[in-house]
């Protein structure tokens, strides 16, 4: 059986690490894993750990920092140089929750810069690599999947498309949860709009399905840079009330990676299809976010497949 090529971001910690461990234990021989990591040493340690679980695991580690457009473009260039016949699955899992105003290498506020702009650039640059209908991808098993990690925190915010990102002048009013929630709302809107646009050229050019999900709330190092009080007092209370079961989170993501029910353009809370906020459900908002995103990324808003 031909291996499915899967690019999985954020595999070195937290939820990504849990899902990778699961995939290697359960379905190792089904996949060729391409793991873009910002820290190669941490990636190599992960590679060793996964080899202990199953020595046949097929992993290519590659450097990629989502806070740098140049690094993302280099990753895509290096991925193309692998000359793989096509890409089957992209899991956009990497994400950050930051304690203060910071800027990406390209000068954007880092929470939205990494979680949304970096993730969107990566996705758009990789679209051409997915298996095409012309390559014979016309039945269910040949379909490709994009999974985008959002969060129920998206419900807390709306977006101002004229001022999507904070600037240095706003740094003193930076609010961790506000920017994080906005970035997760962006992830959801981007996923919906990508589905709409892929659908318009589906029958002729692509078999790509795209879905977003809230993976559940799991205690991970995502809050590593937040204050002692947040990590040691607020987070434990939050997880006591709202925490999810690890296996439910893993199953929710694996379900969308496999996507046997052929979903696209949907939002899931763990494994259950659910309705996002009214702001996130509004197609006008997904269109506006798409246009703004392409402008910030200096990309043509028309899909080039």
Ligand X SMILES: NC(=O)c1ccc[n+]([C@@H]2O[C@H](COP(=O)([O-])OP(=O)(O)OC[C@H]3O[C@@H](n4cnc5c(N)ncnc54)[C@H](OP(=O)(O)O)[C@@H]3O)[C@@H](O)[C@H]2O)c1
What residues line the site for ligand X (CB under 6 A)? 9-10, 12-16, 38-39, 42, 64-67, 93-96, 114, 149, 151, 184, 214-215, 217-218, 220-222
Q: What's the min distance (Å) between Cβ of 67 and ligand X?
A: 4
Helix axes 176-200, 119-126, angle to 10 degrees: 20
Q: Which is nearer to ligand X, 95 or 276 (CB)?
A: 95
C-alpha distances (whole Å) from 144 to each of 198, 235, 269, 286 are 12, 36, 21, 22
Q: Which is nearer to ligand X, 143 or 216 (CB)?
A: 216
Tell me the residue ranges of DSSP E strands in the chain: 4-8, 31-37, 59-63, 89-92, 144-149, 208-214, 267-269, 272-273
Cβ proximity of 67 and 10 under 8 Å: no
Q: What's the min distance (Å) between Cβ of 85 and ligand X?
A: 26
Q: What's the min distance (Å) between Cβ of 222 and ligand X?
A: 4
C-alpha distances (whole Å) from 77 to each of 105, 122, 132 are 19, 11, 19
Q: What's the min distance (Å) between Cβ of 18 and ligand X?
A: 8
Q: Which is nearer to ligand X, 71 or 281 (CB)?
A: 71
**The pair of three-digit structure tokens given for residue 55, joined into one six-digit string:** 């020595």
Q: Which is nearer to ligand X, 184 or 197 (CB)?
A: 184
Q: What's the min distance (Å) between Cβ of 241 and ligand X?
A: 13
Helix axes 246-258, 14-27, angle to 10 degrees: 70
Q: Cα(289)–Cα(188) distance, rounded to whole angstroms?
A: 10
Q: What's the min distance (Å) between Cβ of 203 and ligand X?
A: 32
Q: How far apart are the first and last CA of the chain?
A: 27
Cβ proximity of 216 and 183 under 8 Å: no
Q: What's the min distance (Å) between Cβ of 131 and ligand X?
A: 25
> Can you spell out the DSSP letters for 83-133?
--S-B-EEEE------SS--B-TTSSBHHHIIIIIIHHHHHHHHGGGBPBG
Q: What's the min distance (Å) between Cβ of 192 and ligand X?
A: 17
Q: Cα(140)–Cα(71) distance, rounded to whole angstroms?
A: 33
Q: Which is nearer to ligand X, 13 or 58 (CB)?
A: 13
Q: Which is nearer to ligand X, 30 or 71 (CB)?
A: 71
Provide the β-strand partners of residue 35: 61
Cβ-closest position to ligand X: 14
Q: Cα(126)–Cα(80) distance, rounded to whole angstroms?
A: 9
Q: Which is nearer to ligand X, 137 or 185 (CB)?
A: 185
Q: Which is nearer to ligand X, 137 or 164 (CB)?
A: 164
Q: Which is nearer to ligand X, 158 or 220 (CB)?
A: 220
Q: What's the min distance (Å) between Cβ of 250 and ligand X?
A: 12
């Amino acid at each position: 059986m031909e291996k499915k090529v899967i690019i999985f971001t954020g595999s070195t910690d937290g939820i990504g690490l849990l899902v990778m461990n699961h995939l290697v234990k359960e379905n190792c021989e089904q996949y060729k894993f391409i793991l873009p990591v910002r820290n190669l040493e941490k990636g190599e340690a992960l590679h060793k750990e996964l080899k202990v679980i199953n020595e046949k695991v097929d992993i290519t580690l590659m450097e990629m920092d989502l806070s740098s457009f140049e690094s993302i473009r280099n990753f895509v260039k290096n991925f193309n140089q692998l000359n793989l016949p096509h890409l089957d699955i992209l899991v956009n899992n990497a994400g950050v929750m930051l304690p203060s105003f910071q800027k990406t290498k390209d000068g954007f506020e880092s929470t939205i810069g990494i979680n949304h702009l970096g993730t969107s650039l990566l996705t758009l640059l990789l679209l051409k690599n997915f298996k095409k209908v012309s390559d014979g991808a016309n039945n269910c098993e040949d379909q490709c999947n994009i999974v985008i990690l959002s969060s129920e925190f998206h419900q807390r915010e709306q977006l101002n498309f004229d001022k999507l990102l904070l600037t240095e002048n706003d740094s003193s009013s930076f609010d961790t949860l506000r920017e994080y929630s906005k970035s997760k709302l962006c992830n959801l809107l981007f996923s919906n709009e990508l589905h709409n646009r892929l659908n318009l050229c589906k029958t002729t050019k692509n078999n790509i399905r795209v879905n977003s999900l809230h993976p559940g709330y799991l205690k991970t190092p995502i809050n590593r840079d937040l204050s002692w009080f947040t990590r040691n007092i607020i987070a434990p209370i939050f997880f006591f009330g709202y925490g999810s079961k690890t296996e439910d989170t893993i199953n929710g993501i694996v379900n969308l990676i496999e996507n046997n029910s052929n979903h696209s353009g949907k939002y899931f809370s763990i494994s259950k299809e659910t309705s996002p906020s009214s702001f996130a459900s509004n197609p006008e908002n997904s269109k506006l976010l798409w246009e703004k995103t392409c402008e910030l990324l200096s990309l043509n808003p028309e899909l080039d497949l």
